[in-house]
Structure 1
Amino acid sequence: MSESRFSLYVSILALVTFLVIAFNGMNNKPLQQSNLEEMVLNQPISFINAKSIPLPDKIDFAGEQVPLDIPDVKERLDKELHINSYWHNNTIFLLKRANRWFPVIEPILEEYGIPDDFKYLALIESGLENVTSYAGAVGFWQILKATGKELGLEINREVDERYHPVLSTIAACKYLKKSYEKFGSWTLVAASYNRGMRGMQNALDHQKADNYYDLMLNEETSRYVFRVLAIKQIVESPTDFGLEIDDTHLYPPYSYRYDTLRNSTDLVEYALSQNTNYKTLKLYNPWLIDDELSIRINNFYVISLPKQKDSLKK
């Protein structure tokens, strides 16, 4: 018996023993000695039906072809396609959230002249959740505090616009546009979003290379573009990768109405006055950090609220 089969056998044996004891206990009968080993070994062992995934003949990022004729490039894409295809619980929720937030992100990318494929950066950066990284980067686009301020975002104890789905996307677009002016390659722009512009330029100079696919990089940046490519393929054709998502299971976009605040406000009371609650106000405005909002003279904030028919107040 192999070690793995023996381990499985022991686990099943323990479970069967527990069930037999429990069953006999419920029926107030003494436990009968039985050949549990034979019972377990006669049980069929089932496995997940996993298959290798065929690679596309060609694939591009933002109109730039991926050189799949280079063996390691092909294998790196192969790896990310398999990881994300069989990481079902994660990938399914990426698809669900993409349905909610891509309609917000896509027109902003278009307005700033950023290729549509960059929406997949936000998807792999944060899963379109307002998470915080170990380095302190936050929001959909995982923006650091210093970078956010440089890009014009307000960040203080009451407001952090890195969490604002619209304003953070605009900030990301500014960074991406500046990066493209530097590198002239959208693939390098994507990689620089992970490594930083200076880090990418240093790697290009040191290795005397002129493109992402010829660089030897740290593992995270080396995988980064391929993760984007893999998610792009899966989101665009989920059934090709064994993911059957019922359209009714996708998260619908929020339906907004807007209000302008010009005076300092207790946000709990404000939410109630708008026929909603503080929790819902925070869901629609994750950039509001505190439950009080101080507003200086001649300043204002635009607040997103659910349309009356979609109010979450019960």
Structure 2
Amino acid sequence: MNKPLRILAILSLIFLSGILINAVQQDNTNIQEAGFTSSSSVKTKTNDNDVNDKFTSSTYSIKAIKIPENLEFAGERVPIEKPHIWEDVDREFLVNTYWQSNGLLWIKRAHKYFPIIEPILKEKGVPDDFKYIAVIESNLMNVTSPAGAKGFWQQLSATARENGLEVNSNVDERYHLEKTTRAACSYLLDAKETFGTWTLAAAAYHSGKGNISKYLREQMVDSYYDLLSGPNTERYLPRILAAKYILSNPKKYGFQFDESDLYTYPEYTTVKVDTPIANIAQFAKEHNTTYRELKLLNPWLRENKLNNKSRKVYFIDIPK
């Protein structure tokens, strides 16, 4: 290579090196401006009042939940002096207090549906606290579980039929709030008769009477709170308690809302039907409503027809 070309190559290398060095320096500057520093320059917080170290707003805080004293379910005391019970209850209060969107939906839906559920529990002699089972089972929605349980009270088809509900592809009364609440009451009353406490009756509603009987016998205990019954059943009562205390005093747990924010049940009239309905959409039209509005009030009607070969009496709600 002749001398001029060697000089040109050297100058090119010097120029490229300068560009690379400048780029590295610029990257370091950007990292520092973004708040990232080397380990030797990271500040260690030594003063709780020094908010400069916080990664959130100075007004943002997450507080532990103070568990109410003298917790009880259906008049039965909760032994929170037992460490594992206190931790289980504390967990559910934390999860459900800080799951704000779900909590607000609980509050809104409870205002809509509790006035239907509460009088039935009272009529049947079941403690009012059991309305919170419908909250934790379904979030007060007509949902279906992976196991096939349906409705607000999450009843399996066999159990629903045992407690007087009609369940088939045309009519499924697990979606009929009044009837499924009465069916749940029947189950709970029988479980209370079997096990002696409302707490164990609630556990049986979740796990089944056969399973609870087996656990009690094998473990030689007689209390839900002494039972090793699997994580879901062990969380069951603590979740009910969290729902009960949060919904009983929501503003104490930080939920802010106006009365106008809450959901309300629509006004309706009731039509007695003892014959088949060939087309429910046409039936709705004849009653000055729509198929959708009628099905929202009568989700137990599962098809666009009512077979009713036996000429059973049904009551269909018609929105005003």
Asked if Structure 1 and Structure 2 have the same fold, meaning a TM-score greater than 0.5 normalized by the shorter chain, the answer is yes
Please say if residues 103 and 253 of structure 1, whose CA atoms lie closer than 8 Å, have aligned partners that are also in contact: no
TM-score by length of 2: 0.82
Where structure 1 has 5 or more consecutive residues not aligned to the other structure, the ranges are 1-32, 308-314
Matched, 1:100 2:94: no
Equivalent residues, number: 275
Matched, 1:41 2:35: yes
Deviations 1:138-192 (A, max 9, x none): 0000000111111111111211000100110010011001101101100000111
Name 2:160's counterpart in structure 1: 148
CA distance in 2, matches of 1:50, 1:243: 14
Q: CA RMSD in A?
A: 1.7
Q: C-alpha displacement at 1:256, in angstroms?
A: 2.3
Name 1:216's counterpart in structure 2: 228
Counterpart residue identity of residue 111, structure 2: N
CA distance in 1, matches of 2:79, 2:285: 56
Deviations 1:225-249 (A, max 9, x none): 0000011010001112111122211
CA distance in 2, matches of 1:242, 1:40: 34
Name 1:111's counterpart in structure 2: 123
State how 1:171-210 maps to structure 2 within 5 Å. 171-210=183-222
Tell me which stretches of 4 or more aligned residues in structure 1 moved more than 6 Å: none
Further displaced range: 66-75 or 158-167: 66-75
CA distance in 2, matches of 1:158, 1:85: 40
Q: C-alpha displacement at 1:50, in angstroms?
A: 1.0
Matched, 1:274 2:292: no
TM-score by length of 1: 0.84
Where structure 2 has 5 or more consecutive residues not aligned to the other structure, the ranges are 1-25, 37-51
1:138 pairs with 145, 150, 167, which one? 150
Further displaced range: 182-191 or 257-266: 257-266
State how 1:10-29 maps to structure 2 within 5 Å. none
Please say if residues 195 and 201 of structure 2, whose CA atoms lie closer than 8 Å, have aligned partners that are also in contact: yes
Further displaced range: 248-257 or 157-166: 248-257
Name 1:283's counterpart in structure 2: 296
CA distance in 1, matches of 2:181, 2:155: 10
CA distance in 2, matches of 1:190, 1:89: 26
Deviations 1:121-148 (A, max 9, x none): 0110001101000000000000001111
CA distance in 2, matches of 1:298, 1:93: 39
Q: C-alpha displacement at 1:297, in angstroms?
A: 5.0
Please say if residues 61 and 117 of structure 1, whose CA atoms lie closer than 8 Å, have aligned partners that are also in contact: yes
Counterpart residue identity of residue 34, structure 2: V
CA distance in 1, matches of 2:265, 2:275: 29
Closer, same or farther: CA 84–271 of 1 in aligned 2, 3 Å: same
SS at match of 2:106: helix
Percent identity over paired residues:
43
Please say if residues 94 and 128 of structure 1, whose CA atoms lie closer than 8 Å, have aligned partners that are also in contact: yes
Counterpart residue identity of residue 91, structure 1: G
Counterpart residue identity of residue 110, structure 1: K
CA distance in 2, matches of 1:72, 1:254: 44
Name 2:245's counterpart in structure 1: 233
